Amino acid sequence: MLKGLVIVGTRPEAIKMAPLVVEMQKRKNWEVVLVSSGQHSSMLDMALSNFNLTCDHTLVERNPKESIISFTADFSKNLDAYLEKYAFDYLFVHGDTATTFSAALVGFYRGVKVIHIEAGLRTFNLESPFPEEANRQLVSRITSHHFAPTRLAYNNLIQEGIGVDTISVVGNTVIDSLRLATGSYGNSKSVLEKLLTARDFESYKSREKRIILVTCHRRENIALIMNELGLALRRIITERIDIIVILPMHINPVVRRIIKRNLEGLVGVYLIEPLDYLPFIEIMRSSYLIVTDSGGIQEEAPFLKKPVLLVRDTTERPEALEAGTVKLTGLTKTSIYRAIWNLLEHKENYQEMINATNPYGDGFASNKILDILEKNASNFSS
């Protein structure tokens, strides 16, 4: 029996680790415990419920006003005590969050084999995204096995001196999540009918209006860049009568204040609370294009054949740029506006993006991960 501890802290982590936990639960030779760090508890629970999962333990009850430094100190201390009490063969972490780095470090200190899901992503700029780029680079130094989503991520790890026998290319588990969710999709129109005014809903159904879905929350984008995005969207929505903007606002009060300052009250703009996973996917499916600074959406949207305009000047997922499923907008209101306008006005550019091949796998990454761990259970070094 192999014992795995899966640690998640944020909504994207929960969504991307959920199919792995579901697959472990199906297998008789695995015992899995799912633990929340407490980094974003409310959003985490919402995401996991879509997969009929709940956390077995929450290690920190975080105060929203608590600094990330204070949180990581509390979480590290509590995880250390937890690992002193319970033994595991593997500690699974995902991506690049504060939860990821702290959990990997404690697991490494405790001699538990650290398994890094979505390993090898790089911008090679520690300031962008901050602090995620540092987190993922640091985790790579203390990981027992790296599950890379793409060959490029694999090559990044090789270039950093990571042993070839400790890296496997399996695709991205977020595609597994979308595959699992396919059977749970409701009618996207029903979600929109509740959200939009009757007039906008009828205009959407008749294709008189197109939906732009917007998400923006990265720490390095707060203030100046997020303000530029707001101004670009304001120009688009005031110039055109054929556009609906749907923007689920992040819980960060600073983010909300900037968004509302530029967009609140504009006709055709819907500033809404964060969406549950399935409704969010349904809005994605209904959208004409997506404007975001998110990492995960760069992987999800191409699976749904939706173009992504990334409000950043670099990305740790250059595969998407090479494939043509994602385009960088730059960081000024003018460059963001032009990128959106280009896809609205030029159907050939739009069609080129939606017809590009998604580089992130076939939706069975979780199966591959567990098969590899089972086959090599006695071979991975601590």
Q: Which residues are catalytic?
A: 96, 118, 132, 217, 219, 250
Distance CA 339, CA 191 (A): 28
- Residue 309 in contact with residue 289, Cβ under 8 Å? yes
Q: What is the number of other CB atoms lying within 10 angstroms of the CB of residue 257?
A: 12
Q: What is the DSSP letter of 293?
A: -
The strand pairing partners of 290, in sequence order, are: 213, 308
Return the SS3 of 307. Answer: coil
Q: What is the number of other CB atoms lying within 10 angstroms of the CB of residue 90?
A: 21
Distance CA 342, CA 323 (A): 18
**Residue type for 293, please?**
D
Residue 32 is inside which H or E element, if any? strand 30-36
Residue 7 is inside which H or E element, if any? strand 2-8
**Residue 96: which of 147, 138, 33, 64 has the closest Cα?**
138
Distance CA 175, CA 131 (A): 25
**Residue type for 27, please?**
R
* Tokens 């593997």 -> residue: 90
- Residue 317 in contact with residue 121, Cβ under 8 Å? yes
Exposure string of 298-313, with b = 16+ CB inside 10 Å and e = fewer, is bbbbbbbebbbbbbbe
Peptide bond into 131 cis (omega under 30): yes
Q: What is the number of other CB atoms lying within 10 angstroms of the CB of residue 204?
A: 19
Q: Which value, in Å, is the radius of gyration of the alpha carbons in the chain? A: 21
| Tokens, residue 213 | 């879905």
